[in-house]
Structures are given as structure tokens and as C-alpha cells.
């Protein structure tokens, strides 16, 4: 069986061959960075080089990078760990802000802090899926402890005005965390320009391996309380033996992303435009859910009028890999909270699919994907009684 044409890059991206080679090379030579021998020293060098490569990609210093098991852990460390540390210093500040379209890896840690005496305020978004800055200004007060806003939404692909939001939060005296899992390697990410205190990263959304991520903690920020203790690795902020091979793969993916920022976005957006044009030429009524909002090149949420996204995805089967919402929530029957937040009705939300064209996709694949989607849409229309116009 042939692999499907892979257009589900918001869920995960293919592992870069160069990153795979770096992983295998590191795995072939055992060593614990905590051991005082040659093998341990070699492992420590790989970790240090990896930290430097990831820091370079976001404009940070190497000692501002903490390795984690992924963006979910990084988000938990930034939200829960930072909130606990900040609350001891600022006992009068107990309110946490987050947008209505955050990933559940932020929503649930934030909500968990309600049991620790914090209150939570949801910042609304515009109908095109970006943070409503005027609403944020009205909500930001002297009781703000921490805010968390993603840089790129995982369902819509919209780029959030995090730099402007950070200025508002800092003016109110609060700290800010940014979930940049979907941004790394897709758009330029610079912590100086964003002016955030904490920033979460994921390797597998950047052509690296699953199982490894990182948290940027600004040198000027309050250090979060550790959530994992027992070994005092990484200056006590995240205990546990560092996964040397995964760090090597993450680092190589970061180096590739740094060099490809001038080409990957152009390639992805060209293929996405080709896909949309081809579908429209075949008489499918296709619209971008995010309208004219800034979005990550190559990725978008697409509404196909009269279609049910779940049915369409199932009909595509092993031919084309797409999804209808965040991979972390697509198993649920209820429509996405992100699509609800931008005001879509249940019927409108069910017509939405998300696609991301990655660096390894070809125009030939896009044309083949068009054929498969059109054929599946015709079957879907027959099943639902919809007539295409």
C-alpha cells in the first residue's frame, strides 16, 4: 500500500532525513551527559550544540533553553510552574489570561490553577481568528499574573499579534507565555521582537522527532517552579536524563529550518494556492475560514460548502491525509472550540478541513490530491443529498 499524500502538517511534519541521520548517529554511541567520562562528555557536547542551534533559531541565548518531552510539557512548565513562582512574588496578582483559541495543552494547565486560587479570564478573538487587542486592553488590569497566547493557531493557521499583546500585558505588570509550537520553522520567531517571558517549542512540528520540545525562559524572567524533580538536570528546572539522540535530531531540524526560512514558506504557499485554485476549477465552493487574516504560509482551515469534513476525511482514506480539527481533539464529537470561538455554526464548522503543504510535497501530489478530494466530495454530496453548483 502506498503512503497517503500527506497534507496534515499541522498535526505533525515529516521527519527530515538529516534529522533522522543525526538521531541514529547519536543513538549508535551511548553516553550520559551526567557521567564524568569521554562518552558522557560527548553526550554533553551534543546537548550543548543542540541548545545553541535551537536558541539561534529564535534569537535566544543557549542558557535560556530548557529541553522537555514536547510542547505539552513545555506549556505546563511555563503556565503552572511560572504561575506558582510568580504568585509567591506577587501575591496580589491572581488572574490569568488566555485567548479563546488556545490549544488544550494550555487550556487545561491554566484551568488547573483555579484550584490554587487563580481566576481565569478568556480573551475573545475576531471572526477571522486573531486575538482582539482592544478586548485585551480592556481586560488587562493590575491583578494580572500571567497571560498565555499562541503564536500560530493549530487549526486556523492564523498568526497572532503576540508582540502587541506582550506590550499590553507588561504594561499591566504581568508576565507572558507564548505557545510557538506551530510557528517554529514555518515563520520567523524572534523572542526579542515578541518580548515574551516564556516560549514553548515542539520538534515534530518543525521536521524533527516526536518526544522532544523546549521551553525558552528569558534571562530576565522569573524562573518557573520545576514540575519534575529528582536529578537536578538543567539547573534544576527539569530533572531527568536528557534524551541525547532526540536533542540531536531537534537541533538538526532547527538548523535546516533556519536555512530554509527563505524557501519553505514560499514553496508551501505556492502549493496551497495551487490546491485551492484546482478545487475551485473543479467546481467546489472553497473558502478560507480565516478570511484575509495573516496566516502561516502553506497552511489553512478550508471550508468546502455542503461537505462534512469528517465524512470527507474518511472517504479519502489512505489516499490523502487531512484532518478536521486539532489532532488532540478530533476524536471528540463536539465541534472544535476554536471554530466556535470565531462564530461558526455547527453546520459551518463541520464543513471545515485543515491542510498544510510541507517542504516535501510536490505539485504532482497536489494535483493528485485534488482529484482524490473532488472524487470524495462527489461521494460525500451523494450521501448527503448536496448538489454542487
Q: Which residues are catalytic?
A: 328
| Closest among 207, 263, 234, 294 to 17, alpha carbons compared | 207
As a whole number of angstroms, the distance between CA 3 and CA 217 comes to 39
| Phi, psi of 371, deg, nearest 5 | -60, -45
Residue 306 has a CB neighbour count (10 Å cut-off) of 18
Cell 524572567 sits at which residue? 221
As a whole number of angstroms, the distance between CA 128 and CA 276 comes to 18
| Closest among 69, 105, 53 to 212, alpha carbons compared | 69
Reported residue count of the chain is 389
Contact predicate 136/165, CB 8 Å: yes
Alpha helices in 113-159 (DSSP H): 133-139
Alpha helices in the chain (DSSP H): 17-27, 38-58, 71-76, 82-89, 104-112, 133-139, 162-171, 191-194, 244-260, 264-281, 309-316, 337-341, 346-349, 363-384
Residues paired with 295 in a beta bridge: 158
Amino acid at each position: 500500500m502506498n503512503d497517503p499524500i500527506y497534507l496534515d502538517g499541522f498535526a505533525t511534519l515529516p521527519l527530515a532525513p538529516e534529522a533522522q541521520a543525526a538521531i541514529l548517529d547519536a543513538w549508535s554511541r551511548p553516553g550520559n551527559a551526567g557521567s564524568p567520562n569521554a562518552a558522557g562528555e560527548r553526550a554533553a557536547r551534543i546537548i550543548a550544540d543542540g541548545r545553541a542551534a535551537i536558541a539561534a533559531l529564535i534569537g535566544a541565548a543557549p542558557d535560556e533553553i530548557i529541553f522537555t518531552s514536547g510542547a505539552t510539557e513545555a506549556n505546563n512548565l511555563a503556565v503552572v510552574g511560572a504561575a506558582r513562582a510568580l504568585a509567591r512574588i506577587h501575591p496580589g496578582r491572581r488572574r490569568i489570561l488566555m485567548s479563546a483559541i488556545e490549544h488544550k495543552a494550555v487550556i487545561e494547565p491554566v484551568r488547573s490553577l483555579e484550584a490554587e486560587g487563580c481566576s481565569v479570564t478568556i480573551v475573545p478573538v475576531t471572526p477571522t481568528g486573531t486575538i482582539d487587542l482592544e478586548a485585551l486592553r480592556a481586560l488587562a488590569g493590575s491583578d494580572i499574573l500571567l497571560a498565555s497566547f499562541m503564536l500560530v493557531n493549530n487549526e486556523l493557521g492564523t498568526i497572532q499579534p503576540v508582540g502587541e499583546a506582550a506590550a499590553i500585558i507588561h504594561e499591566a505588570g504581568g508576565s507572558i507565555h507564548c505557545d510557538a509550537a506551530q510557528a517554529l520553522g514555518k515563520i520567523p520567531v524572534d523572542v526579542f521582537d515578541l518580548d515574551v517571558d516564556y516560549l514553548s517549542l515542539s520538534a515534530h512540528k518543525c521536521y524533527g522527532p516526536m518526544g522532544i520540545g523546549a521551553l525558552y525562559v528569558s534571562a530576565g524572567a522569573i524562573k518557573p517552579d520545576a514540575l519534575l524533580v529528582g536529578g537536578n538536570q538543567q539547573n534544576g528546572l527539569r530533572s531527568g536524563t536528557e534524551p541525547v539522540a532526540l536533542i540531536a535530531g531537534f537541533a538538526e531540524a532547527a538548523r535546516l529550518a533556519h536555512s530554509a526560512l527563505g524557501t519553505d514558506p514560499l514553496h508551501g504557499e505556492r502549493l496551497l494556492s495551487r490546491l485551492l485554485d484546482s478545487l475551485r476549477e473543479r467546481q467546489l465552493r472553497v473558502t478560507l475560514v480565516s478570511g484575509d487574516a495573516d496566516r502561516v504560509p502553506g497552511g489553512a482551515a478550508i471550508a468546502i460548502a455542503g461537505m462534512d469534513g469528517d465524512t470527507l476525511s474518511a472517504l479519502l482514506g489512505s489516499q490523502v491525509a487531512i484532518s478536521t480539527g486539532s489532532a488532540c481533539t478530533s476524536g471528540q464529537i463536539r465541534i472544535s472550540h476554536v471554530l466556535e470561538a470565531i462564530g461558526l455554526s455547527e453546520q459551518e464548522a463541520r464543513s471545515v478541513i485543515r491542510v498544510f503543504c510541507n517542504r516535501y510535497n510536490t505539485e504532482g501530489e497536489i494535483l493528485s490530491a485534488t482529484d482524490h478530494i473532488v472524487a470524495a466530495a462527489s461521494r460525500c454530496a451523494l450521501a448527503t443529498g448536496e448538489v454542487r453548483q
